[in-house]
Amino acid sequence: MKKFNTAILFSTVLFLLININFVIADIPALLLQEDHCVSCHSELEILPEDFQDYDSHLQIGLSCSGCHGGDPTSEDPEKAMSPKAGFIGVPSTKAIPKLCGKCHSNIDFMRTYQPRIPTDQVQQYFTSVHGKQLLKGDEKVAECASCHTAHAIASAKDARSSVYALNVPNTCKKCHSDADYMKGYHIPTDQYEKFARSVHGKDLLEKSDTGAPACNDCHGNHGAAPPGVESVAHVCGNCHVNNMNYFEASSMAEPFANLDIHACEQCHGHHDVEKTTDDMVGVGENSVCTQCHSTGDAGYQAAKEMHQSISEFVNDYNQAEAQLKDVQQKGMDDVDILYLLQEAHQTLIHTRTLVHTFSPDKISEKTSEGVKKTSEAMDLAKKEIRDYHVRRRGFGIATLFITVLVVALFFKIRGMERNQKKQS
Amino acid sequence: MKTMVKNLYGWLDERFDLSPLIDFMSKKNVPVHRHMIWYYMGGVTLFLFIVQVMSGILLLFYYKPGADSAYESMRFILTKVNFGWLIRSIHSWSANLMVFFAFVHMFSTYFTKAYQKPREMTWVTGFLLLALALGFGFSGYLLPWNELAFFATKVGTDIVGALPLIGKPIMAVLRGGEDVTGATLTRFYAFHVAMLPAVFTVLLGLHLVFIQRQGMSEPEELARLPEDQKKWMPFFPNFVLRDAFLWLVVLNVLLFLAVFYPWDLGFKADAFAPAPAGIRPEWYFMFMFQTLKFLPGHILFVEGELVGILFFGIAGIAWMFVPFWDIRAKSTSKFNPMVIIGLISLIFIIVMTIVGYLM
């Protein structure tokens, strides 16, 4: 029995040794035949912790020796990992950017794999805070592998990648939310918490909307740096183009710059940007205008006027929407009302964008346009509701007419049959 | 006025000799008995068919068949055309009421044994008219090109495709290809407004000629009475006026339904959208649809669905030929086998329809 068990064990090991593909199914077969790094390390179960067979480099045939050097064709570990064969072991943090750059900064080389791939990552990296600190000898900062991992690298479009949009906040969080690790840098460590609460964070992390910005969309990828006063509007303006253009052309742009106030951040915050409301404009409790303006000054008055125009329009719009629902509930024609309300909604979005001009006149001009559309929609809705009642009254008249005919016919038949009986 | 009518009659009589017709109409009588209410059901069905033709013609003024235009033109009819909503709603309601009254008419004919000799052909033409009415319903259901109709047609034609050998070719002919597409819509339109009406009109003509030629059937209990105890009513004007009376009542009900429960249009059909919840055929197909759903996957090595389709096919044919295999009950027997068969069929249809809507 013992012999039998030993035979089974032996044949299993033999099978696995011969058929290494059985162990690592997704690694190209040819690579395994020629590359003894992967086969030996797999058999001995000493592959790196983050090793994944979907790794982009591994998938195109660039194996361990591509970065670590050595001779992968040799079955003898001594020879395979000898410095003579170029083996460098685990590269130091400081050496990593240049190591990756060996290929990734070489445009001719990279073109053979992906014709449109950028090759300035290393150059950009050294302009970032991370890169600059690394040059100063700080080895705690992020280098390529910190974000991309070393052995599970995948395209940023691949959902398994650590730099896929939905995974970016968690990748950055690994260091930036670790208060102990960040000690000494004198920067906050609550960015992730704030971001997760923000309108952007909710869209990205809760709704998995990859269109919402992750850390890198504002801070950059390889050239990661916090945006300064002069560039913050441009960062937000990447997506919120009209808001940025209106703000820059407004009378507020210059005073903001002179006072060193962050353009967008002053009213909206940064990591914790909340969903905007109309009450942010005006002089009410939730107003951001009153942070700087107070009773009597021109800004205060302008804020009040802007809020009033928007509120009136929104009220009208909500009323028209309620009437639309009534029309729909009654099964009447809602097509034209819907179109008008769609237009009005566009106008409302435009009005809210125009808030960044800080001009009560421009806002009032736009809201008047919107109010005109909503009142047209309301008129149509009223007409449809009136028609609904007319139809019922029309039926009443028609049915009355038919009922009179039915009754008349009834008496006619009765009278006729009585006469027929009398005659017979 | 009277002189004018008289003159007109004289003018026509001189040319066409109307006296045999007048003579026939004045002598035509309808038996009077306690089941005579069922005589009106055929008339009501006929009235609803006339409503269908008239409202259908009005809809034709604006309806544009085609995957890109059918839904839009229906929307136009419902929203922009004066009284378009009313005409469309009347057409939909009247279609359903017509099928309902056709069923009532058929079962009343069956239970009063009016199909027996010499009225076999009246029954057969009547059955074919009901089958065509169902065809009108099935083809018309798709015409608004909305989501529910699109998927119901898909399911309906899939069922036809399940037939061995002939199923797939028939399905391809019905669909105008592999799938339900704009090609299906245009051929359903052709069925609905050209082919079916043409055949229907011929059969309806025959059905009415048969009735007029043979007169109303007398139920057995009345036929057994001696001639002097039988009661009769002149067809014209008595019966015709009673018919008119009922037609007016039905018209009133139809208007009520059309105004207070207008037929909605739903969402436009989208072949790439997932099938919406609650796809169901028109109510008159529900009993068959529900039965097929209840059948197990396989019955003795044959697909359950196929067994169901064959069963309904054979049952339908048997029903059409009822007059030719009619089982006469012995005069001493308390149970009439035909009544039992009829009751089982009727209860089956009603129960399965209700179950279909509840599940």
For chain B, what are the domain ranges? 31-289
A335/B242 CB distance under 8 A: no
Per mean pLDDT, which range of A161-175, A176-190, B118-132, B331-345 is the poorest? B331-345
For residue A121, the Cα-to-chain-centroid distance in whole angstroms is 23
A328: tokens are 């729909």
- Interface list for chain B against chain A, based on CB atoms closer than 8 Å: 75, 78-80, 86, 234, 237-238, 241-242, 244-245, 248-249, 251-252, 255-256, 259-260, 262, 264
A325-358 per-position pLDDT tens digit: 999 888 788 889 999 999 999 999 999 999 999 9
A201-205, B152-156, B195-199, range with the lowest pLDDT: B152-156
pLDDT at residue A13 in the model: 47
A93 pLDDT above the threshold of 90: yes
Interface probe, candidates A391, A401, A419, A420, chain B, greatest B C-beta count within 10 A: A391
Return the higher-pLDDT residue of A296 and A23: A296
pLDDT at position A117 is 85
Quick one: A353 and A305 in the same domain? yes
What is the C-alpha to C-alpha distance for residues B278 and A418, in angstroms, rounded to an integer?
A: 55
Report if residue A185 sits inside a domain: no
pLDDT of residue B277: 78
Distances (CA, A) of A387 to A123, A263, A287, B82: 70, 52, 44, 12
Whole-angstrom Cα distance, residue A390 to residue A396?
A: 10
pLDDT at A25 over 50: no
Contacts of B79 in chain A (CB under 8 A): 333, 335
Mean pLDDT of B92-121: 95
pLDDT at position A366 is 97
Tokens of A258: 């002179």
What is the predicted pLDDT for the residue at B70?
Answer: 96
Does residue A320 share a domain with residue A249? Answer: no
Q: Which residues of A touch B (CB under 8 A)?
A: 331, 333, 335, 391-392, 394-395, 398-399, 402-403, 405-406, 409-410, 412-413, 416-417, 420
User: Per-residue pLDDT for A23 more than 60?
Assistant: no
Q: Tell me which residue has tokens 């030629």.
A: B213
A235 and A321 together in one domain? no
- Residue A108, pLDDT > 60, answer yes
Q: How big is the CA angle at A114 (ends A110 and A119), to the nearest 5 degrees?
A: 45
Averaged pLDDT for residues B226-230: 85
Cis peptide before A169 (omega within 30 of 0): no
User: What is the rounded CA–CA span in Å between residue A14 and residue A20?
Assistant: 10
- pLDDT surpassing 90 at residue B55: yes
User: Are residues B79 and A416, on separate chains, in Cβ contact within 8 Å?
Assistant: no
pLDDT at A230: 66
Please enumerate in sequence order all residues whose Cβ is within 8 A of that of B207, keeping only pairs 6 or more positions apart, or say none.
Answer: B122, B125, B126, B129
Of residues A389, A370, A366, A379, the one with CA closest to residue A336: A379
Q: What is the mean pLDDT of chain B?
A: 92
Q: Stretch B209-233: mean pLDDT, rounded?
A: 87
State residue A11's pLDDT score: 53
Which residues partner with B32 through β-bridges? B231
Closest CA to B352 of B278, B292, B277, B279: B292
Across A45-59, A364-378, B197-211, least confident range? A45-59
DSSP letters for A305-325 = HHHHHHHHHHHHHHHHHHHHH
pLDDT value at residue A224: 76
Three-class SS state of B190 = helix
As a residue count, chain B comes to 359
pLDDT of A28 reads 61
A202 assigned to some structural domain: no
The residues with which B298 forms a beta bridge, in sequence order, are B303
pLDDT at A26: 56
Average pLDDT of B289-300?
A: 89
Structural domain including A348 reads: 298-394
Type of residue numbered A125: Y
| Residue A125 to residue A209: CA distance in whole angstroms | 27
pLDDT score of A81: 93
Cα atoms found within 13 Å of the Cα of residue B272, Cβ hemisphere only: 0
**pLDDT tens digit string along A226-279?**
776 667 777 899 899 999 999 999 999 999 888 888 889 889 988 999 999 999
Is position A164 within any domain?
no
CB contact under 8 A, B255 and A412: no
For residue B318, pLDDT beyond 70: yes
How is residue B42 written in tokens?
A: 């055929």
Q: What letters, b where the CB count within 10 A reaches 16 and e where it falls short, cover A265-290?
A: bbbbebbbbeeeebebbbbeeebbbb
Q: Residue B127: which residues within 8 A CB-CB, separation 6 or more?
A: B106, B319, B320
Phi, psi of B234 (to 5 degrees): -60, 135
The whole-number average pLDDT for the span A195-224 is: 93
Set of chain A residues whose Cβ sits within 8 Å of the Cβ of B252: 399, 402-403, 406
Q: What is the pLDDT of residue B12?
A: 93
- Which one has a higher pLDDT value, A31 or B233? B233
Give the tokens for residue A282: 């005006």
Minimal CA separation from B147 to chain A, in Å: 18
| A/B interface, count of CB pairs below 8 Å | 46
A30 pLDDT more than 70: no
pLDDT at A402 over 70: yes
Helical H segments across B17-119, by residue range: 19-27, 39-60, 70-79, 84-111
Is 0.80 surpassed by the pTM of this model?
no
Q: Could you tell me the two tokens for A354? A: 């125009």
Q: Do B248 and A331 touch (CB under 8 A)?
A: no
% of chain B surpassing 90 pLDDT: 69
Phi, psi (degrees; rounded to nearest 5) at B31: -65, 140
**Interior/surface letters A71-93, b for 16+ CB within 10 angstroms, e for the rest:** bbeeeeeeebbeeebebeeebeb
What average pLDDT does this structure show over A39-48?
87
- Which of B78, B80, B255 shows the shortest C-beta gap to A399? B255
Of B241, B251, B255, the CB nearest to A412: B241
Predicted local distance difference test score (pLDDT) of residue B263 = 86
CA dihedral A370, A375, A378, A380 (to 10 degrees): -100
Check residue A33 and give its pLDDT.
Answer: 64
In a domain, A390, yes or no: yes
Task: Please give the mean pLDDT across all residues of chain A.
Answer: 89
Q: How much is the CA Rg of chain A, to the nearest whole Å? A: 36
SS3 of residue A392 by DSSP: helix
pLDDT for the residue numbered A229 = 60
SS3 A57: helix
Q: Is the pLDDT of residue A7 over 70?
A: no
- Tens-digit pLDDT profile for residues B33-43: 888 899 999 99
Which of A314, A382, A380 has its CA nearest to residue A345?
A314
Residues A265 and A333 reside in one and the same domain: no
**For residues B54 and A30, what is the distance between their CA atoms, to the nearest angstrom?**
77
Above pLDDT 70, what percent of chain B?
Answer: 99
**Cβ-proximal residues to B132 (8 Å cutoff; 6+ apart), any chain:** B196, B199, B200, B203
d(CA A31, CA A62): 9
Residues linked to residue A126 through DSSP beta bridges, in sequence order? none
**CB spacing of A333 vs B260 below 8 angstroms:** no
| Residue that wins the pLDDT comparison between A113 and A273 | A273
Buried b (16+ CB within 10 A) or exposed e, B29-44: bbbebeebebbbbbbb
- Residue A249 domain-assigned? yes
Instruction: Judge whether A140 lies within some domain.
Output: no
Give how many domains chain A has, as a whole number: 2
Residue A345 and residue A309 share a domain? yes
Are residues A43 and A17 in contact, defined by beta-carbon separation less than 8 angstroms? yes
- The answer to whether B19 and B13 are in contact (CB under 8 A) is yes
pLDDT for residue A113 is more than 70 = yes
Q: Do A409 and B248 touch (CB under 8 A)?
A: yes
CB contact under 8 A, A333 and B241: no
CB contact under 8 A, A409 and B256: no
Q: Which sign, positive or negative, has the C-alpha torsion A130, A132, A138, A143?
A: positive
Q: How many CB atoms lie within 10 A of CB A213?
A: 21
* Domain B31-289 homologous superfamily, CATH: Cytochrome Bc1 Complex; Chain C (1.20.810.10)
- The pLDDT, as a whole number, for residue A260 is 83
Beta-carbon contacts of residue A395 (< 8 Å; ≥ 6 apart): B255, B256, B259, B260
Cβ–Cβ < 8 Å for A299, A293: yes
Kindly identify which residue of chain B lies nearest to residue A335, measuring between CA atoms. Answer: B79
Alpha helices (runs of H) in A158-275, residue ranges in sequence order? 168-176, 179-182, 191-197, 199-201, 215-219, 229-237, 241-249, 253-258, 265-268
| Res. A121: pLDDT tops 50 | yes
pLDDT at position B303 is 86
pLDDT given for residue A20 in this prediction: 44
Alpha-carbon distance B178 to nearest alpha carbon in chain A (angstroms): 34
* Residues B333, B340: Cα–Cα separation, whole Å: 13
Confidence of residue A149 (pLDDT cuts 50, 70, 90): very high
